[in-house]
Structure 1
């Protein structure tokens, strides 16, 4: 049986590619991957953004009237990194889907993992997830599980 190797990239449509590239760089630490520079030209140009190790890649394309997709893109991190992501997102005044600024009380406790949901300036949904639940529950003083 054939199996898939890994996700190559996730394509995100936005109404302003330059603004999106700046946000993804500043907030998520992604940078334009110069190997894909040739793909930026033309009416359907794509800016390929990647983390330093190349394990996360987002293909950003500009389309008028682009609507956010349903679902969410979820990134998994360690417990310590999860705490740092809370601070990073809060410092950048990133919002959740209800329009509230991300803070430590934005963490959802799912019983065996924790998540932090947020949106980019175009309404595209993201999550930071950590399976270091026991450690995070102690650090964040989580007392009740969030219903799914």
Structure 2
């Protein structure tokens, strides 16, 4: 028996050096938007700014500071097959850098059979992943 049963993941903490630049990047690249507001217009560095996906379900909180070292700190966002294909067709893109520090290209696609992913860095070096589990339409679309 569990002590508690959460109903969903609420948010993930990410650390950035330049909060305004990070907000701009997450808005341009992932279509995220600010979620909620603090009482003041410019919150102090120890207060996060929350960004939500278009449907408002999944949220990241951006803190100003150095990102923690060690361990896997990947934040994964789910895409349907059409959105995943559309993303692949945008590559390479100036805002997208792979984990190796080089521009992300279609060759950066990871096909695990049951899932397909693209992995890249945000401007602060946080690991971002886009994942789809509806892989057959993606494979067909990429082969066309």
Common topology (TM > 0.5) = yes
Task: Please name the residue that 1:38 is paired with.
Answer: 39
The count of corresponding residues between Structure 1 and Structure 2 is 139
Equivalences for 1:1-148 in 2 at 5 Å?
A: 1=2, 2-33=4-35, 35-38=36-39, 41-63=43-65, 65-67=66-68, 70-71=71-72, 72-88=74-90, 90-141=92-143
Alpha carbons of 1:43 and 1:95: their partners in 2 closer, same or farther (altered >3 Å)?
closer
Gaps in structure 2 of 5+ consecutive residues: none
Question: How much does 1:68 deviate?
Answer: 6.1
Kindly report the root-mean-square deviation, in angstroms, between the aligned alpha carbons of the 2 structures. 2.0
What TM-score do you get using the length of structure 1 for normalisation?
Answer: 0.82
Deviations 1:22-46 (A, max 9, x none): 111111111112x233375234121
Alpha carbons of 1:46 and 1:70: their partners in 2 closer, same or farther (altered >3 Å)?
same
Deviations 1:61-91 (A, max 9, x none): 111x434664211111111110122245633
- Please tell me whether the aligned partners of residues 32 and 49 of structure 1 are also in contact (alpha carbons under 8 angstroms): yes
Higher normalized helix content (fraction of residues): 1
- Please tell me whether the aligned partners of residues 48 and 57 of structure 1 are also in contact (alpha carbons under 8 angstroms): yes
Question: Take 1:105 and 1:25, find their aligned partners in 2: how far apart are those partners?
Answer: 25
Question: How much does 1:12 deviate?
Answer: 0.6
